[in-house]
Structure 1
Amino acid sequence: MSLDPSTIGRFKVLGTLGSGAMGTVYLAEDPLLKRALAIKVVREGTGDAEVLLRFKREAEISARLNHPNAITVFDVGEAPDLGPYLVMEYVEGESLSDRIRRGPMDADEAAGLLIQAADALAAVHALGILHRDIKPDNFMVAKDGRLKLMDFGIARGDQTGRLTTTSTFLGTPAYAAPEVLNGEKATPAADRWALTITAFEMLTGLLPFAGDSVGATLYRIVHDPPVWPQDFPPGLAEVFGKALDKDPQKRFADIPSFLVALLEALPLAPERRAAHLAQLASTAPVKATGTLRIDLSAKAVSPRSRWFWGIGLLLAILGLGFLFFRPEPSRVLSIESKPGGAEVFLDGTSLGRTPLRQVVVKGKADLLRLEKPDHQPLVYRLKAEDKDLTLRLQPAPFQVQVASEPAGAAIFLDGEPHGKTPAALEIPGEGSHQLRLELEGYLPWSAIPERHKPLPDPVHLQKRGKKGSGDGKIRKFFKGIFQ
């Protein structure tokens, strides 16, 4: 196909988002719902059955996976002269790899994204599916801070068929687990290894087994220990050393265990560490803690009693299912602040920075807190009718140090006395204010204090001249001329 299509199915093509080995991804619009979409099509002329199988697999798995941190599939189809296509959610933002190229992330940003990535991968594994290509290129970071897992083209599961044997290894070498490179069957541990490499790259901008060639990289993954940056903290080295052990049995048992250890080792403020741990706990899967055993054998009860017991047990199970597995109520919020760029916390968990578009709020979410440097924290209790919120932040007061030479000058702020120099003076954050210093025998001095702009230290007051001394000198001058 020499020219890009103007339409695919009922969708209007707006432009090209990118191209890859499997095909092209277009930016499109749904004319009925008036929303932006991404449409992925197989590259023209690709007759390779394996490539088509990967495309079909991606459509099937994406459709089965309904998770807020995974790309949503809306439709599939086949267009004349174009072939099969996949209609997906469009995420306005950048890939995680593009974000890493801008420099290593601070601990707080990396932790928030990793918890989302772990939640998405846990949902994939819960379906009995291995992603097999976890890497920064396959995560999108939306402008509001949400992370999305994508590209299930080489994923494998019990019900998704098998790829042909023409390619033994189909992942990305730098993120491959050593046991897979040694020819062993991939397990969820291999996906966890790849996520660990991704986490290391997010925090350092580097790969722990980087080589000058693909062959050198593969050799180091299988045989060499990871290489840490010179200033890598020992606590982090210990956590990543365990997570990157060559033996899968010696690594962390699951992703939450790795993330808990990582959060404890990262240089985070105590309140941020607590918030991330709470977010991680809220995404952890529920595990059964016991087994219910009921004897319904013929010796235990009569047939009539067994019938009543069966009905009772069924009702009990349905009741418990309603109590413990009913979907939590949810709603969608958009949150803006004036000024923008405020970090938003919902019941202590960070949602990202404003503006936030279409945030899914689940359960009994109650309290919003907005924080922005140089502004007072804003606490807002959500109401049932809230949908599009615009919250105004008030500038926080700031302090200035006021000193004068000579000392002892009276301090006036907006005409009100505030002691004498030297002193620390609190300036209201809202509006502009006039500061004035007065000292007998000296000219008054005034200024408008500004945040982050210190006053002269000290303010040098100018002596006031004697009353009438200037006029006397002028009269003396003219008197001398006319004499």
Structure 2
Amino acid sequence: MSLDPSTIGRFKVLGTLGFGAMGTVYLAEDPLLKRALAIKVVREGTGDAEVLLRFKREAEISARLNHPNAITVFDVGEAQDLGPYLVMEYVEGESLSDRIHRGRLDPDEAMGLLIQAADALEAVHGLGILHRDIKPDNFMVAKDGRLKLMDFGIARGDQGRLTTSSAFLGTPAYAAPEVLNGAKATPASDQWALVLTAFEMLTGTLPFAGDSVGATLYRIVHEAPVWPPDFPQGLAAVFAKALDKDPGKRFADLPSFLRALIEALPLEPEPRAAHLAQLASTAPVKGTGTLRIERMVAPVTPRNRWLWGGGALLAALALGFLVLRPESSRVLSIESKPGGAEVFLDGTPLGRTPLRQVVVKGKANLLRLEKPDFVPLGYHLKAEDKDLSLRLLPAPFQVQVVSEPPGAEIFLDGVSKGKAPAAVEISGEGSHQLRLDLDGYQSWIVVPERHRPLPDPIRLQKHRVKQGGGKIKKFFKGIFQ
């Protein structure tokens, strides 16, 4: 095509987002829903039938996944003179690959993105699906910090697989050694690719990089990873275990790897605690027992055969629903005014505000914000909550009022609070005036401040008698006599 289309299907094309070896990605608008979209169109001559099958597979997986850290696919089709196209959610941001090319990520930023990536990948695996092409190019980083996994075109589930002219699907540099040796892809091979992505985020390089594709593949299969100069020993130990040639010797799952990575990275105590809390909130709950279904001992007769078949079908459907249904999750951003409040979700600490892209799973309900000198705030989460900005009210404080001489009447904002000595409670909001009055003495006034005690005691000054008053009276008396 020499010219960009003005429409694709019913969608209006607004511009071009990027080009690739396989085709073009357009920015478009849905004229009915008035929302921005990204449409991937494949170049002519790239196998339309197979591509359309992959696009349909990607749309199917997206519909089943429905995860906040995975790209949503809205439609798939085939347009005349264009070929297959895929209509996706538009993410305003950049690919993780582009982000890495701008410079390696600091540990805090990297962990925030990796926890989101792992949560999405674990959800994919929970559906019995393998992604098979995990790499920085297949993650989008939105401007608000949210990460999105995309491109399920070569994903494979337990039921069926796409036909292909190539025995290996994916990107060679991120392939696990067992896959390169001819073994079938497994969740462990997806995890291997995400570990390499994590390494690249933190270092800007890959541990098996070679001068050619062949050299890279040889190093993945036969050689130990190469660490950058001055690579911390603790980090090297974590990545060495995660990149063991034997899948059985690697970390059991992604949360285990990320937990070890958080502990090994040079993070401040507060970000470390926040990432561990976020990881705990996204980790799937694992059962401790096995589910057994005992078969009833009864003869199978024509009369009850339909009961057996129907009961087995219902049991299979129920079990599949319980096992495969991913736990609902969503992403929250939490700010407080003022900032720096400790945040707890159902009692679990999440860190201090502002918190960006906290993944909340399950039936999380109560947020609690605490900050010294402010009233603790409880907030029940709503289904529509996404970006929360919560205002903390200053807590009241007390001042001890002791006057010398004692017995002065205390007024707060003009209202009597008794006589000194006394403890007076001050509202945390606004500015207030404290006044002491005692007959024969000058009023004493102050604006009370938190953490600034009053003088103990407050020494009141007697009213001053003006000197020379008698002489002045005599002077005027003499004039008018």
Give the TM-score normalised by structure 1. Answer: 0.67
The residue identity in structure 2 corresponding to 1:189 is A
The residue identity in structure 2 corresponding to 1:221 is I
- Farther-moved stretch of structure 1 (132-141 vs 268-277): 268-277
The residue identity in structure 2 corresponding to 1:230 is P
Superposed CA offset, 1:285-314 (max 9, x none)? 433524356674469xxxxxxxxxxxxxxx
Q: 2:264 and 2:333 mapped to 1: Cα distance?
A: 34
Q: 1:179 and 1:88 mapped to 2: Cα distance?
A: 33
1:381 aligns with 2:379: yes
| 1:197 shift after superposition | 0.4
Q: For residue 217 of structure 1, what is the aligned residue in structure 2?
A: 216
Q: For residue 132 of structure 1, what is the aligned residue in structure 2?
A: 132
Q: 1:123 and 1:268 mapped to 2: Cα distance?
A: 27
Q: For residue 8 of structure 1, what is the aligned residue in structure 2?
A: 8
1:18 aligns with 2:18: yes
Q: CA RMSD in A?
A: 4.7
| 1:245 shift after superposition | 0.9
The residue identity in structure 2 corresponding to 1:28 is A
Q: For residue 62 of structure 1, what is the aligned residue in structure 2?
A: 62
Superposed CA offset, 1:412-442 (max 9, x none)? xxxxxxxxxxxxxxxxxxxxxxxxxxxxxxx
Superposed CA offset, 1:440-461 (max 9, x none)? xxxxxxxxxxxxxxxxxxxxxx
Map 1:322-337 → 2, pairs under 5 A:
none
| 1:322 shift after superposition | 12
For these two proteins, the number of residue pairs brought into alignment is: 394
The residue identity in structure 1 corresponding to 2:37 is L
Q: For residue 141 of structure 2, what is the aligned residue in structure 1?
A: 141
Q: For residue 171 of structure 1, what is the aligned residue in structure 2?
A: 170
In the alignment, is the contact (CA less than 8 A) between 1:341 and 1:355 conserved in 2?
no
Secondary structure of the residue aligned to 1:203 is helix
Q: 1:147 and 1:181 mapped to 2: Cα distance?
A: 28
Q: 2:342 and 2:93 mapped to 1: Cα distance?
A: 18
| 1:140 shift after superposition | 0.7
Q: 2:291 and 2:80 mapped to 1: Cα distance?
A: 55
Q: For residue 189 of structure 1, what is the aligned residue in structure 2?
A: 188
| 1:37 shift after superposition | 0.8
Q: For residue 88 of structure 1, what is the aligned residue in structure 2?
A: 88
Superposed CA offset, 1:298-335 (max 9, x none)? 69xxxxxxxxxxxxxxx999999999999989889786
| 1:337 shift after superposition | 7.2
1:99 aligns with 2:94: no
- Farther-moved stretch of structure 1 (383-392 vs 97-106): 383-392
- Farther-moved stretch of structure 1 (285-294 vs 23-32): 285-294
Q: 1:229 and 1:122 mapped to 2: Cα distance?
A: 29
Secondary structure of the residue aligned to 1:69 is coil
In the alignment, is the contact (CA less than 8 A) between 1:332 and 1:359 conserved in 2?
yes
- Farther-moved stretch of structure 1 (179-188 vs 356-365): 356-365
Secondary structure of the residue aligned to 2:167 is coil
In the alignment, is the contact (CA less than 8 A) between 1:59 and 1:76 conserved in 2?
yes
In the alignment, is the contact (CA less than 8 A) between 2:126 and 2:324 conserved in 1?
no
- Residues 22 and 346 (structure 1), Cα distance of their counterparts in 2 relative to 1, 3 Å cut: farther
In the alignment, is the contact (CA less than 8 A) between 1:337 and 1:355 conserved in 2?
no
Q: For residue 276 of structure 1, what is the aligned residue in structure 2?
A: 275
Q: For residue 40 of structure 2, what is the aligned residue in structure 1?
A: 40
In the alignment, is the contact (CA less than 8 A) between 2:342 and 2:349 conserved in 1?
no
Q: For residue 408 of structure 1, what is the aligned residue in structure 2?
A: none
Gaps of 5+ in 1: 300-314, 395-483
Q: 2:331 and 2:276 mapped to 1: Cα distance?
A: 24
- Residues 350 and 105 (structure 1), Cα distance of their counterparts in 2 relative to 1, 3 Å cut: farther
Q: 1:50 and 1:38 mapped to 2: Cα distance?
A: 21
| 1:283 shift after superposition | 3.1
Map 1:364-443 → 2, pairs under 5 A:
364-367=364-367, 381-382=379-380, 390=389
- Residues 38 and 105 (structure 1), Cα distance of their counterparts in 2 relative to 1, 3 Å cut: same
| 1:278 shift after superposition | 2.8
Q: 1:45 and 1:277 mapped to 2: Cα distance?
A: 48
